[in-house]
Chains A and B, each alone.
Chain A
Amino acid sequence: MTSPNNNPNRSWTEMVAASRQEIPAPVDVRYSVRAELESLLRNPRPLEELDWTSALVNLFSPGFVRLGVAAAFLCMLVLAGNSSITITDTEFENDDPLVTLYSGEGEWSDWL
């Protein structure tokens, strides 16, 4: 490697310290920024572009997840409060014709 910066025995700390000495060449982006802004103003887009992928990812952010869990818990409580189970008495005591027929004060031998 021809670079004088190459030193196979350089430690990470030394690399980082030496890289801090590297300073970028001056940049001048005013013309390209201006051109881009003029194009934006000619063809206005919404300030916050709708990005459905970001929106989808945001749905899984901790805030939304907490909100979703809280909403689900609330729904569970509401449903639990409103639900009731009616147990129908299926054992006939008075409506069964056989019971009715044979209830009374008769002797049990009468049934035989």
Chain B
Amino acid sequence: METETVADDELVKRAREGDLSAFDSLVVKHQGMISRCLFRFCPHQSDLEDLVQDTFIKAYRKLHLWKPTAPFENWLRRIAYNTGHDYFRRSKRTPVALASLGQESNQLELERIEDRTNIQEEYQLTEQVQQLLSELPADDRLLLTMHYLEERPLAEVAEAAGWSLSKTKVKSFRAKKKLRKLLNRYDISE
């Protein structure tokens, strides 16, 4: 298959010249990685596909900005995290429906989660983690998702969010404090 033999920079060069099939090859090559990154932000299949699609559309529109000095995959991943960050900003804070994880259970809330058409049973933990994080501001949510869930280094979080490293470290410290308070509120141990 062409994507296995042609390097990213060659495909990007062709895509810049207007060859859409070259860009198709980039999509096929990297969509798995992008969907795994964005899954932590949004486990719902239809929303996830939208986010992955948005990431590639943004990448196409900014293709002229990519320089071969850094791997294309890293650049694309940063766009994906930005897309995830925007998704968090757009999402309204929802009341946490994590009563099942605390001492008391709220059956109606649990049914609300289970009734969501796109959520599959095996993704419910990711959903529940994000439900909890949705109580935090978008910046903290991004930081905790990338650093905690994706296990990305803080330098990468800084680059994705456009922050300095020192600012990211301070934000990380504060985000963890807020998370601890949230966990205490719902009687969830660390």
Contact = CB atoms under 8 A, between A and B. Distances in A.
A37 B23 contact: yes
A33 B53 contact: yes
B45 A13 contact: no
B125 A5 contact: yes
How big is the A interface, by class? 35 or more
17 contacts: A3-B121, A5-B125, A6-B100, A6-B101, A12-B183, A15-B125, A15-B188, A16-B148, A19-B129, A24-B35, A25-B45, A25-B120, A26-B35, A27-B32, A29-B31, A38-B20, A40-B57
Interface of B: 20, 23-24, 27-28, 31-32, 35-36, 39, 43, 45, 48-49, 52-53, 56-57, 60-62, 64, 100-103, 105, 110, 114, 120-126, 128-129, 148-149, 179, 183, 188-190
Is chain A's interface secondary structure helix, strand, loop, or mixed overall?
Answer: loop
B188 A27 contact: no
Contacts of A25: 45, 120
Given A19-B129, A29-B49, A37 B57 contact: yes
B84 to A, nearest CB: 13
Is chain B's interface secondary structure helix, strand, loop, or mixed overall?
Answer: helix
Nearest to A17: B125
A33 B31 CA distance: 11
A22 B27 contact: no
Given A24-B35, A24-B39, A2 B114 contact: yes
A22 B149 CA distance: 11
Contacts of B20: 34, 37-38, 41
A42 interface: no
Contact of A13 (B28, B56, B190): B190
Given A27-B31, A33-B57, A36-B57, A11 B114 contact: no
